[in-house]
Structure 1
Amino acid sequence: MPRSERSPLLLAGLLATAGISHFVTPRPFDATIPSALPGSPRAWTYASGAVELALAAGVALPRTRRAAALATAAFFVGVFPANIQMAVDWHHRPTPFRTAALARLPLQVPLVLWARGVAKGGEGRS
């Protein structure tokens, strides 16, 4: 399989893994939900997991790949406040946890760029 065909499937796999994790172990995700959002953190955790699963399916399918990859880029931007919340809330945790929380912040940039690249590669395919 050519590299250009693997990249969307790897992105879909990342999204699917993250989406499933929201349902299997929701508690860590609940803790990242900004308190400014209305409703239960668990509802936001499940909703974001469902969105990640839907995006994974869309990115995996050539027919929907471009739109889903653009939506994925927007999703990665949209969840950035949760990553900030995690970094703020975890300032008192042991160093490995603090480091992981802080490392997530700049990692959003390559994720957004990856999704945009998949969208560009998906143009004209069906």
Structure 2
Amino acid sequence: MSRSERSSLLLAGLLATAGVAHLASPKQFDATIPSVLPGSPRTWTYASGVVELALAAGIAAPRTRRMAALAAAGFFVGVFPANVKMALDWRNRPTPQKAAAYGRLPLQVPLVLWARSVAKNGEGQS
């Protein structure tokens, strides 16, 4: 297995894990949904989980990898406001929780770059 194939499958695994977490334990994610979004936070949590699973499947399949990885990069940018909300909401929590919330913010940059790298090395055509 090539390095780019491993990277693709690791990204797919990360997204699949996140998707399952959103669907299996939605309550913890509901609080991160910005209140400006219409509808219920639970709907957004479930939708996010479904999107993560779909992106994972698309990245895992070589034919759709490039398109799905580009979509994943966009998704990582799109969920950034939820991470900002979490950081703001957790600013008065104990230091380890606060550090985790603030640590998620810069983590979005390597996730976007990773998805773009997978897209660049992907086999599918968009």
Which range, TM-score by smaller chain? over 0.9
Contact kept? 2:62, 2:123, Cα under 8 Å: no
Tell me the distance in 2 between the aligned counterparts of 1:65 and 1:2. 15
Measured after TM superposition, the shift of residue 92 of structure 1 is 1.5
Tell me the distance in 2 between the aligned counterparts of 1:38 and 1:99. 29
- Does the alignment pair 1:41 with 2:27? no
Q: CA 1:124–1:50 in 2, change beyond 3 Å: closer, same or farther? A: closer
Structure 1 segments of 4+ aligned residues over 2 angstroms from their partners? none
Tell me the distance in 1 between the aligned counterparts of 2:36 and 2:105. 19
Q: CA 1:119–1:10 in 2, change beyond 3 Å: closer, same or farther? A: same
Paired AA for residue 81 in structure 1: P
- How large is the Cα RMSD of the aligned pairs? 1.0
Q: Give the alignment's TM-score, normalised by structure 2.
A: 0.96
- Does the alignment pair 1:112 with 2:112? yes
Q: CA 1:33–1:124 in 2, change beyond 3 Å: closer, same or farther? A: closer
Measured after TM superposition, the shift of residue 70 of structure 1 is 0.1
CA deviation map 1:63-117 (0-9, x unaligned): 0000000000000000000000000001111111100000000000000000000
Tell me the distance in 2 between the aligned counterparts of 1:56 and 1:74. 14
Tell me the distance in 2 between the aligned counterparts of 1:124 and 1:80. 27
- Report 1:11-90 matches (<5 A): 11-90=11-90
- Report 1:90-101 matches (<5 A): 90-101=90-101
Gaps of 5+ in 1: none
Paired AA for residue 119 in structure 2: A
Tell me the distance in 2 between the aligned counterparts of 1:16 and 1:4. 18
Paired AA for residue 80 in structure 1: F
Look up the SS of the partner of 2:90 in the other structure. Answer: helix
Measured after TM superposition, the shift of residue 123 of structure 1 is 4.3
Measured after TM superposition, the shift of residue 3 of structure 1 is 1.2
Look up the SS of the partner of 1:38 in the other structure. Answer: coil
Tell me the distance in 2 between the aligned counterparts of 1:44 and 1:28. 12
CA deviation map 1:32-89 (0-9, x unaligned): 0001111100000000000000000000000000000000000000000000000000
Measured after TM superposition, the shift of residue 22 of structure 1 is 0.3
Tell me the distance in 1 between the aligned counterparts of 2:122 and 2:45. 29
